[in-house]
Chain A
Amino acid sequence: MRKLIAVATIAAMLAAPAVAAAASCPRTTLGDVEDEVMCPVCGVPLNLATDAPQANRERAFITDQIRQCRTKSEIKDALAAQFGDRVLATPKPTGFGLTAYLLPIAGFLAATAAIVFAALRWRRRRPRSAAATGAVDPQDAARLEADLQRYDL
C-alpha cells in the first residue's frame, strides 16, 4: 500500500508541471489564426488556400507555434516577421493601416449626413397638405354632410 501511495505521489508530482502548463497555455486553434492571415503567394486568406504548398507550410508553422503555447497575437507577429505585414489579412491599426478602420466610419457618417440633409430638403419642399393645415375641402365637407343626413344620426 505504501508503495502504491509513493508511486501515485511521484506520478502526481511529475504530471503537475504539465497540467499547469496546459492550463496556462492559451487556447489558440489553427482555425482562429487561419482566417486572419493571408497566404502571401496565393493572395487569398489562408483558410481559402487549401492545396497550395506554401499555404501548407504556413499552416505547419502556425501549428508549431500553437504547440509552443503562443497566443494568436504572438503567432501573427511571428508570421509578420517571416513574411512582412502583407501576411496579415487585416492591417494593423497604426499609420496608413488606420485608414482601413477610419474610412468605413467616415463613410457611414457621410452617408448618414447625406440622408438627413436630403430628408430635410424634401420635407421643406413638400407642399403643405390640407390635412396639415386642418382645413377641409368644401366638396368633401358637403359629401360628408350628405352621408350623415342619409344615415339620419
Chain B
Amino acid sequence: MKRLLRPVPLAAIAATVALVALLAYAVAQNGPNRSIDDAIASGQRPAAPPLDLPRLDGASRLSLAALRGKVVVLNFWASWCVPCRQESPLLERWQKTIAPRNATILGVDVLDLTSDARDFVRRYKLTYPIVRDGPGHRLSAFGVAGYPETLLIDRRGRIVATNRGPVDQHYLERTLVPLLRERA
C-alpha cells in the first residue's frame, strides 16, 4: 500500500482515472438527449430550448421566442435526407391550412450545404420559414438524433409532442389540430 502512495504510482493512477472519466463523459455525450421525450411521457410540457438561427435565405435571423403566441411545428430536416422529400410537401400543405390560425411550420435545415437546401426549397416550393443550423449545434438540445424529426410547440413555448421520424397526415390531425384550439 505504501508503494502505491508514492508520487509516481499515484500520478499514474490519477492519470488512468482521469482517462477513464474522460472516456465515460465522451460516451455519455454521444447518446441522444431523451429528457424532452421523458418529460412528455410523464405528462409534462417542457419549455422549448432557445433557438435563434439565421434564415436559409440569409436575410435575417428567426427565433422561437419571436414566434411566442403561435403554435409551432418545428421540423428538423436536410436536403440529402430521403424521407424529408416525402414529408416536405405534406408540411407545405399544412402550412397553408394552419397559417391563418396563428400557427406555423418552422423548418430547421441541419448538417446541409446551403446551396442544396435552397435548391430543395425551390424544388418543393416551400413557403414556410426555414432557418439553417449547418453545424447542427441545436440538435442535442432538442434531442434530435435522426432526420427528419418534428416537435410540436404550444403557444406558450412549451413542447407538447415529439415525432422522431417523418410525420404523416394522421399524426398531424391527431396532435396538431387539438393544439390549434388552445389559447395562449
Contact = CB atoms under 8 A, between A and B. Distances in A.
Contact of A82 (B79, B81, B114, B137): B114
B111 interface: yes
B135 A53 contact: no
Nearest to B78: A54
Given A40-B111, A57-B116, A61-B113, A84 B78 contact: no
B113 A84 contact: no
Interface in A32-53: 40-41, 53
Interface in A74-93: 81-87
B117 to A, nearest CB: 10
Contacts, number: 38
Contacts of B78: 41, 54
A54 B137 CA distance: 17
A54 B82 contact: no
A56 B116 CA distance: 12
Given A54-B80, A82-B134, A84-B134, A41 B111 contact: yes
Interface string B62-79: 000000000000000011
A84 B53 CA distance: 14
B113 A40 contact: no
A114 B82 contact: no
A81 B134 CA distance: 8
Interface in B16-54: none
Contacts of B80: 53-54, 56-57
Contacts of B116: 57
B184 interface: no
Given A41-B111, A61-B113, A83 B82 contact: no
B8 interface: yes
A111 B113 CA distance: 44
A114 B113 CA distance: 49
Contact of A86 (B8, B79, B113, B135): B135
Contacts of B129: none
B32 to A, nearest CB: 13
A83 B134 contact: yes
A100 B112 CA distance: 27
A51 B8 CA distance: 48
A85 B134 CA distance: 11
Contacts of A54: 78, 80, 111-112
Interface of A: 40-41, 53-54, 56-58, 61, 81-87, 114, 117
30 contacts: A40-B111, A40-B135, A40-B136, A41-B78, A41-B111, A53-B81, A53-B82, A54-B78, A54-B111, A54-B112, A57-B79, A57-B112, A57-B113, A57-B116, A58-B113, A61-B113, A82-B114, A83-B111, A83-B134, A83-B135, A83-B136, A84-B135, A84-B136, A84-B137, A85-B135, A86-B135, A86-B136, A87-B135, A114-B8, A117-B8
Nearest 3 CB-CB pairings of A with B: A84-B135, A53-B80, A54-B80
Given A40-B135, A57-B79, A117-B8, 6 more contacts: A53-B82, A54-B78, A54-B80, A57-B80, A83-B111, A86-B136
